[in-house]
Amino acid sequence: MQTFPVRTARREQLLDITGQVAAALRDGPDEGVCIVFVPHTTAAVTINENADPSVVADMLAKTSRMVPRDEGYAHAEGNSDAHIKASLVGSSVTIPIAGGRLALGTWQGIYFCEFDGPRSRTVHVQVLGR
């Protein structure tokens, strides 16, 4: 397993981590799977379009409307919305490896999703294959 740090600058932010994940494949298998895992309860990881930055803006805007920050939650820390958003998006993604490369679609990128920043975070990458 390889681990790399992520530093976020805003409370809610999606960072393209495709390059860091791809770097974990060096000296790895030609075929297999790559698992990307975020060990945080207020952050997540997803795969989506990385060609048009308005997609990221739309995703953040919509999740904020769906799960507002100030909704009278019981959790005393004031970040219940971040916990909910992280659960909705998910803590891991699995990407096939073909020819020693991530088998992502033409427009796809891997995003670290911050919902309670700014913070220093960690991403784990596990590569399995033959």
For residue 130, pLDDT beyond 80 = no
Radius of gyration of the chain (CA): 15
Positive or negative: CA dihedral 111, 117, 122, 124: negative
Domains in the chain, CATH or no CATH each: 2-129 (2.60.120.460)
Tell me the per-residue pLDDT of 56-74, one tens digit each, with 9 for 90 and over: 999 999 999 999 998 899 9
pTM of the model: 0.96
Do 8 and 115 contact (CB within 8 A), yes or no?
Answer: no
pLDDT at residue 63, as a whole number = 97
How many CB atoms lie under 10 A from the CB of residue 43? 25
In this predicted structure, what is the pLDDT of residue 76? Answer: 85
Give the model confidence (pLDDT) of 73-111 as tens digits.
999 899 999 999 999 999 999 999 999 999 999 999 999
The pair of structure tokens assigned to 80 is 């219940």
Q: What is the distance between the alpha carbons of residues 81 and 126, in angstroms, rounded to a whole number?
A: 29
CA distance 81 to 88: 11
Cα separation values, 63 from 42, 66, 89, 110, 112, Å: 13, 5, 10, 18, 15
Amino acid identity of 27?
Answer: D
Percent of the chain with pLDDT over 90: 92
Asked if residue 125 has pLDDT above 80, the reply is: yes
pLDDT score of 27:
85
* pLDDT 10s digits, 31-48: 999 999 999 999 999 999
- Best CA proximity match to 14, nearest among 52, 68, 67: 52
Which H helix or E strand runs over 63? helix 53-66
Rounded Cα distance between 101 and 105, Å, is: 12
